[in-house]
Amino acid sequence: MISVTLSLWDTGGQERFNFFKTDFFKGVAAVALVFDLSRPDTFESVDEYFGDIRELSGNIPIILVGNKDDLKKDIGETIPRDKIIQMVNQYNLFEYLETSALENLNVEKLFYRLALTSLIDIKPRLGEIIDSNHFRFKILLVGAAAVGKSTLINVFTKKKFEENYKLTVGLDFMIQDLEIEEEDIPNETLTLMKSATKKKRIKKIRKKEED
């Protein structure tokens, strides 16, 4: 098993918080790009957020997330699925998941996949290697206001859905640990991880010798 600590970041999505963008995207390992399945306008805003991610964080893995799946049974499909898949293919996104924080649908799966994609795409960046079997990654949830980013994080970290929703003002930050099965990680990634941790150990030894 590989231990992963996720640092989960969420900004409010409101236009007046655009000044957060530069620092917010630094050192990111993977992104969940979230829209509301009941609000087509939030899907249309995905293009802008995708542009920000690529400009400020480079070619990191992105999972597209259609949240509030529970509303589909009442209002039907407001965003054609073929349009969503077209966007996934157009932007070469890692995958597409539909979630519901209310029904806890695919919430654990989403964050497991974000951790897994971070391992598969490991560079590594500063601070990501804790030891040979423990890694830390900065994960962003981005998207328009009120698409449920904070609620997804809360359900994942607190294991409960909070009815009294409060719009995120500024940014939220939470930490959660999880375990990744080694059989889910490609062999070439495991080799890279071992090589990266070995280099870190050598640097530590050299630093001690210099001290």
Using one digit for the tens of pLDDT, what is the confidence trace for 96-109?
A: 999 999 999 999 99
Return the ∠ at Cα 33 (arms to 31 and 36), rounded to 5°. Answer: 155
Domain that holds residue 148: 2-210
Q: What's the rounded mean pLDDT across residues 12-41?
A: 79
pLDDT-based confidence at residue 200 (cuts at 50, 70, 90): low
High-pLDDT (> 70) share of the chain, %: 82
| Total length of the chain | 211
And the tokens for 198? Answer: 């070995």
High-pLDDT (> 90) share of the chain, %: 57
pLDDT-based confidence at residue 209 (cuts at 50, 70, 90): very low
Torsion from C-alpha of 146, 58, 111, 148, nearest 10 degrees: 0
What is the model's pLDDT at position 164?
Answer: 64
Report whether pLDDT(14) > 70: no
Q: CA nearest 21: which of 154, 140, 175?
A: 140
Cα–Cα dist 39/135, whole Å? 36
What is the model's pLDDT at position 52?
Answer: 86
**Lowest model confidence (mean pLDDT) among 88-97, 99-108, 148-157, 160-169:** 160-169
Cα–Cα dist 124/40, whole Å? 36
How many structural domains does the chain have? 1
Cα–Cα dist 9/68, whole Å? 20
* Identity of the residue numbered 43: F
**pTM, 2 dp:** 0.87
Could you tell me where the DSSP H helices lie in the chain?
21-24, 40-44, 46-57, 72-75, 81-90, 107-120, 149-158, 187-210
Cα–Cα dist 78/109, whole Å? 24
**Bridge partners, residue 131, by sequence:** 134
- 153: domain CATH number? 3.40.50.300
What integer best gives the mean pLDDT of the chain?
85
Alpha-carbon separation of residue 125 from 135, 175, 198 (angstroms): 11, 18, 15
Using one digit for the tens of pLDDT, what is the confidence trace for 51-97?
A: 989 988 899 999 999 999 999 999 989 999 999 999 999 999 999 99
